[in-house]
Structure 1
């Protein structure tokens, strides 16, 4: 009843500059990510209202051996979340817990192991290889579709990074992430611009 989000949000996507320009000129499109470890399942991933985290990601990714990002860049997008599987909303938190229980029982009947969240390497203490979370999200989509419900997007908070200060529960890379399932939710694409100083006498002279 209340799952449709009534307003647009800004999303930021880190990628290679050449690909970004092609998307901006409508010569290419954002690609759905469908890795088994994508924590919000299949979709086009955006940082909600968070340009800095998007460019930080692009810079980090560009340093990986097999990265497709040669020149780190960010595109902004105007997003309509539509019918959103919003994991900041209690009803969907409860729904995801139910999806896990149903998936677990199904895999037990099939004598198949439950996926696990693991680390990509020793330095990854955030368990970013989210195969369990991805499997549960995908199963939640399946359960919803069986009831004739299709989610356009998935939204959740990601607690990430080192503690902000000793003893803190805040982390240095906390963010809200969105996975757009329905590409029609992307209403516009733009080049983010730097903020200018305002108010300033230059604007009133």
Structure 2
């Protein structure tokens, strides 16, 4: 009963400046990501309330282009007004319980079918990173759970929300990291009520 989140939130997505303007002007649609290593499964990705992190991410992608990514000419950020709807929220007990059960189903199905049980890993270029930036396992578990719900006539999730502890300690033995963030994967495009270009704060 309480998994439907009340109210609207803001999400921010890093992209090329042209795409940001096209989204605001409704000249293009926001296409979902479907990489095998996406942290929250397939969906349209946003940083919750975090335009600076979105800009940092897309700027890094611009400076370090990847073969399977579109070319970034000028890094930019587009904001979105979002209603999470029926959300698989991995910041609360109910969502975490669902994900644990989803993993157990994934593991049993993989073993019975002779499939490899995937692991979260890092790209070869940064194999010593403790954050495991390629989340093949998490992605597979979440996507399989979506399929399970569809196959069994259960209510589908409109979105997935997760909090991530990432980066370096802010100070020795700190419980906080310099890249901690909340990420959103929007599955139902109707959750996105509109796009906007973020403004600079006026003094």
TM-score by structure 2 length?
0.93
Residue 124 (structure 1) aligns with: 129
Please name the residue that 1:203 is paired with: none
For 2:39 and 2:18, how far apart are their aligned partners in 1? 27
Residue 180 of structure 1 is matched in structure 2 by 186
Determine whether 1:76 maps to 2:73.
no
1:4-45 Cα deviation digits (max 9, x unpaired): 111100000000001111111111111200000001000000
Contact 1:99 1:143 in 2 (8 A): no
Deviating above 3 A after TM superposition, structure 1's stretches of 4 or more consecutive aligned residues are: none
Find out whether 1:108 has 2:97 as its counterpart. no
Q: Which of these residues, 191, 195, 200, is aligned with residue 194 of structure 1?
A: 200
- Matching residue of 1:59: 59
Asked if structure 2 preserves the Cα contact closer than 8 Å seen for 1:34 and 1:42, the reply is: yes
Deviations 1:104-154 (A, max 9, x none): 011111111101100013263311100000011112212322242110000
Root-mean-square deviation (CA), in Å?
A: 1.2
Structure 1 unaligned spans of 5+: 198-205
- Output the CA distance in 1 between the equivalents of 2:130 and 2:57: 17
Aligned mates of 1:2, 1:65 — CA distance in 2: 41
SS in 2 for 1:92: helix
20-29 or 171-180: bigger deviation: 20-29
What's the TM-score once normalised by structure 1's chain length? 0.92
Whole-Å Cα distance in 2 between the matches of residues 113 and 179 of structure 1? 25
